[in-house]
Amino acid sequence: MKNITKNLAKKILYTLYTPKLPQGRIQLGYIFHTEQIYDQKLFTQLLGFCESYQKITGKRPICTLMTGVNPLVAEGMKAHGVSAEDYVNRARQLSEVSTLGYHGHFWSEVSKLHDPSSQIKGRRAAEPALKTQFEKDLQWFKSNGLNHNGIYSGGWWFMSEQVQKLLVQHGFLLDFTFSKAPYFRNPYSQDLMQKNQIRIGEVCRIEEQLFCIQNFIGCHTTPFIGDFYRNMRKLLTEDEQPNSPIHGVVNSHDYDLDVVNTLKCIEALKKDPSVEFYDAQDFQSQLARKSKSIKSVSLSPDPGKHSKSVGPQRDHQTLE
Ligand SMILES: [Zn+2]
């Protein structure tokens, strides 16, 4: 009953008032936190969505993926009877309809997966266990011939100097962990953006290499396109003057995607002259082109090392 009243109120509201995006172009991508493709139903749904998204926008969405050696995924694979090989095959199929990236979730003790105190989120300092899992995940991509394309998004929106250093060291190019939306905030990211006066939709670079592109909002699960505009406007007022043009992504998990309503929203945005859809390749090439005008943030040098003397191991210089 509550929902019916709410929907009716929205219907009336959006008939009387159509929220609009502000002037200036929004360069918009779509990113998935891909966590449960061991579930056949979710996997099939995601493949179908990526194909439809590409048909509408002419661009590929980005699927940042938890690896087959992530302990939480391993648990799900076991429960769904999906072998290591099957999981890799699904990742490969996904790479045909999207641009793959890496989605990291880390624990201080992998034996305590479901204990929140073991989950590395919020304001955690450098942890040896994180580095081990990060490197194990990258090895999984490499040994299975899967390309993460130098793209990262942090699980639980977790970001830290340790993660940024690992990303730079391993040649990553695009990070999609930062956000100013209340649900997706992380204290380290907030501090960094505040200290460097990074506005909504403004991209910054870490060590002149890693472009950090913000998440705007999640794609909503209601039939009202007006909800998207209203929530975007609300977010844009977080800053007195958002950056222009604005770069960013909207996000979903594979397990909370509302296919029908999200595609309806994408279709409406495609017709909106203030929105231009971007895929990973567009972000990379456009940002690289104007990189001189993008703020660069330096990380603190490791004790005993001069940051300039250590070159990054760039195993992913270009996007495929
Ligand atoms: Zn996640």
CA of 153 to the centre of ligand 1 (A): 8
CA of 205 to the centre of ligand 1 (A): 23
CA of 122 to the centre of ligand 1 (A): 13
Show the domain range for 90: 29-108+126-297
Question: Alpha-carbon distance 115 to 107, whole Å?
Answer: 9
What does the pLDDT read at residue 320?
45
Is 8 within the bounds of a domain? no
Burial class (CB in 10 A: 0-12, 13-18, 19+), 117: exposed
Is 115 within the bounds of a domain? no
CA of 154 to the centre of ligand 1 (A): 7
What does the pLDDT read at residue 318?
47
CATH code where residue 90 lies: 3.20.20.370
261 contacts: CB under 8 Å, gap ≥ 6: 219, 220, 221, 222, 223
CA of 311 to the centre of ligand 1 (A): 30
What does the pLDDT read at residue 258?
94
CA of 20 to the centre of ligand 1 (A): 31
Is 75 within the bounds of a domain? yes
CA of 252 to the centre of ligand 1 (A): 10
What does the pLDDT read at residue 21?
75
The closest of 294, 270, 269 to 283, measured between CA atoms, is 294
CA of 23 to the centre of ligand 1 (A): 33
Number of structural domains found in the chain? 1
What does the pLDDT read at residue 100?
98
Please give the distance of CA 33 from its chain centroid, rounded to a whole number: 6
Is 191 within the bounds of a domain? yes
Give the number of other Cβ atoms within 10 Å of residue 23's Cβ: 7
pTM: 0.90
CA of 35 to the centre of ligand 1 (A): 7
Question: 296 near 205, Cβ under 8 Å?
Answer: yes
CA of 191 to the centre of ligand 1 (A): 21
Question: 77 near 35, Cβ under 8 Å?
Answer: no
What does the pLDDT read at residue 230?
85
CA of 103 to the centre of ligand 1 (A): 7
CA of 232 to the centre of ligand 1 (A): 22
Question: 178 near 193, Cβ under 8 Å?
Answer: yes
CA of 56 to the centre of ligand 1 (A): 26
What does the pLDDT read at residue 240?
67
Is 316 within the bounds of a domain? no
Is 121 within the bounds of a domain? no
Residue type, 287: L
CA of 33 to the centre of ligand 1 (A): 5
CA of 265 to the centre of ligand 1 (A): 23
Is 67 within the bounds of a domain? yes
CA of 161 to the centre of ligand 1 (A): 19
CA of 64 to the centre of ligand 1 (A): 9
CA of 240 to the centre of ligand 1 (A): 30
Tens-level pLDDT at each residue, the chain (320 residues): 567 777 777 777 767 677 777 667 899 999 999 999 999 999 999 999 999 999 999 999 999 999 999 999 999 999 999 999 999 999 999 999 999 999 999 999 999 999 999 999 998 887 899 999 999 999 999 999 999 999 999 999 999 999 999 999 999 999 999 999 888 889 999 999 999 999 999 999 999 999 999 999 887 777 888 888 888 888 887 776 666 788 999 999 999 999 999 999 999 999 998 899 999 999 999 999 988 899 999 998 876 555 443 344 444 444 44
Is 276 within the bounds of a domain? yes
CA of 68 to the centre of ligand 1 (A): 14
CA of 156 to the centre of ligand 1 (A): 6
